[in-house]
Structure 1
Amino acid sequence: MYEEPIGHTLFAVRILAIADETDPTLTAARLRDIKPDLVIGCGDLGMDYLDYVSSAANACLVYVPGNHDPDLRFRAPASRPGALVFDEVWGNAQPDDEKRELAGINADGRIVQVNGLSIAGLGGSIRYKQGPNQYTQREMARRARNIKWRARLARKPVDIFIAHSPPAGLGDEDDGPHRGFESFIPLVEALQPKLMLHGHIHPHGFEKPDRQLGSTRIVNVIPHQVLEVE
């Protein structure tokens, strides 16, 4: 677990990032001690667990789906009032409190503004069987291009990129279901976020080291990581 500041803005935002595995150490008391300003879910966690963590921590939730999550593409995102969601197709910002349905902000395929941070999200894994939230390399490359286009439209630097899968060759594995996305490398190089957070690659008791791509620190957050972005 890392607790160190990143970046050079005026105020630090404390982030609790979670993915893939429910963590019995994240008791309500522990969450109150961590005092995150923001909870980020990187996929493959049930909404009940995400709701529990964000509610016990009294923090806003931003998440992307994993390959074991349901298809959320045609359901309205929800968030705290006033948060902005950049529409996946056209890129226009809308106050999403008018279309609330799910707890938290689904950032998949979007750029959202929360707690002064600009957060881009791309959920899902490489396609290896039938099911939602799985993409070929070509399909994810198209989604990555959409994020780059939206970032240019927003005219604001992206602070954090959240995904379920890692970039190819940077924390992924050789077996088919756990290969990373090739398109994430040029995306990260273009956006230059301070952090890329992901899950999908289970540690199985071994520490997964951080990776570096340019100025971007890439962190596998399973089961949880605490970070500060300034």
Structure 2
Amino acid sequence: MQILTISDEIVPAIYSLNLKQRLPQVHCVFSCGDLPYYYIEFVLTTLQVPCFFVFGNHDGQQYLESGEVLTAPRGAVNVEGRVVRYAGLSIAGLGGSLRYKSDGEHMYSDAEMMRRAWRLVPMMLFHKYRYGRYLDVLLTHAPPLGIHNGPSYPHRGLAAFLWLMDRFRPRYLIHGHVHPSYGYNSGIESVYGATTVLNTAGYRVLEV
């Protein structure tokens, strides 16, 4: 199954009327935050496939020219703090980043993110009982602590994601937040235990 993953940067090759012709085999889209909602809506409507998303630390209310206020991309499935099932995959989401200022809407301390991770546990136990695996895909905005981290404190990863990978062994953790275009030489693909960790800032096409 082919999956388009997007995050952080508007890519002209994706924001294109030729997108369906370029990626005709994509089954769904994963969005990992810090993108305009109109961009996400364009991708899912052009490809005519489901989109599952989490918020980035810069996400919040966005405004249309009509004055309408959007709090999320229309037509996409918010997986923040949830575990959902699609096409044989159990998919969970924990968006946002490490808190580096007091007024950020989608920012969390290490302890706050750990509490969010713990709240996924009953849902993952159900998926283990029902489908045989706790989790297949964990969508985040920030990376795990020590993996694909940037040099600055705002781009440090979160320890809660290491705990989830250690205990529940998802096949993939897909994140954004650390832009290769910033010149960070932090890697875009790593393996941690049973989990492949992918930085999708910009976009990637994933074969599952």
Bucket of the pairwise TM-score, normalised by the shorter protein: 0.7 to 0.9
Tell whether the 8 Å contact from 1:32 to 1:57 is kept in structure 2 after alignment.
no
Which position in structure 1 is the counterpart of 2:49? 59
Q: Which residue of 2 aligns with 1:128?
A: 100
Q: What SS is found at the alignment partner of 1:150?
A: helix
Q: Does 1:15 align with 2:3?
A: yes
- Cα displacement (A) at 1:205: 6.5
The answer to whether the aligner puts 1:137 opposite 2:110 as a matched pair is yes
Structure 1 stretches of 4+ moved >4 Å: none
**Which of residues 143, 149, 172 is equivalent to 2:122?**
149
Residue 47 of structure 2 corresponds to residue 70 of structure 1: no
Question: Residues of 2 paired with 1:152 and 1:179: CA distance?
Answer: 29
For 2:169 and 2:154, the matched residues in 1 are separated by: 27
Q: State the SS of the aligned residue for 1:18.
A: strand
Structure 1 distance, partners of 2:57, 2:188, is 23
Correspondence for 1:183 among 139, 160, 179: 160
Q: 2:175 aligned to 198, 201, 223, which one?
A: 198
Q: Any residues of structure 2 matched to 1:34-183 within 5 Å, and which?
A: 34-35=23-24, 36-70=26-60, 102-129=74-101, 130-155=103-128, 156=131, 157=133, 158-183=135-160
Deviations 1:90-111 (A, max 9, x none): xxxxxxxxxxx94210001110
Matched residue of 1:121: which SS? strand
- Cα distance between partner residues in 2 of 1:116 and 1:50: 23
TM-score, normalisation: structure 2: 0.85
The TM-score, its normalising length taken from structure 1, stands at 0.77
Name the structure, 1 or 2, with higher relative contact order (CA <8 Å, separation 6+).
Answer: 1
Alpha carbons of structure 1 residues 56 and 187: separation in structure 2 relative to 1, 3 Å: same
1:94 aligned residue: none
RMSD of Structure 2 on Structure 1 (CA): 1.9
Aligned residue type for 1:51? E
What is the rounded CA distance, in whole Å, between the counterparts of 1:159 and 1:28 in structure 2? 31
Following superposition, the deviation at residue 70 of structure 1 comes to 1.3
CA shift at 1:149, angstroms?
2.9
Task: Give the aligned residue type for 2:79.
Answer: A
AA in 2 matched with 1:134: M
Percent identical residues: 35
Say if 2:32 is the partner of 1:29.
no
Alpha-carbon distance in 2 for matches of 1:33, 1:59: 14
Amino acid at match of 1:21: E
**What corresponds to 2:66 in structure 1?**
none
User: How big is each residue's C-alpha offset from its partner over 1:35-88, in whole Å with a ceiling of 9 and x where there is no partner?
Assistant: 2100110000111100001111111100000001117xxxxx99xxxxxxxxxx
AA of the residue aligned to 1:33: R
Partners of 1:109 and 1:144 lie apart in 2 by 8
Q: Give the unaligned 5+ runs of structure 2.
A: 62-70
Q: CA deviation at 1:174?
A: 3.2
Structure 1 distance, partners of 2:182, 2:56, is: 21
Q: Which amino acid aligns with 2:93?
A: G
8 Å contact 2:90–2:127 — kept in the other structure? no
> Secondary structure at 2:12's aligned position in 1?
coil
**Between Structure 1 and Structure 2, how many residues are aligned?**
190
Deviation for aligned residue 1:204? 1.4
Do the aligned residues in 2 keep the contact of 1:20 with 1:199 (CA within 8 Å)?
yes
| Structure 1 CA distance for aligned equivalents of residues 162 and 177 of structure 2 | 17
Tell me the residue number matched to 2:68. none
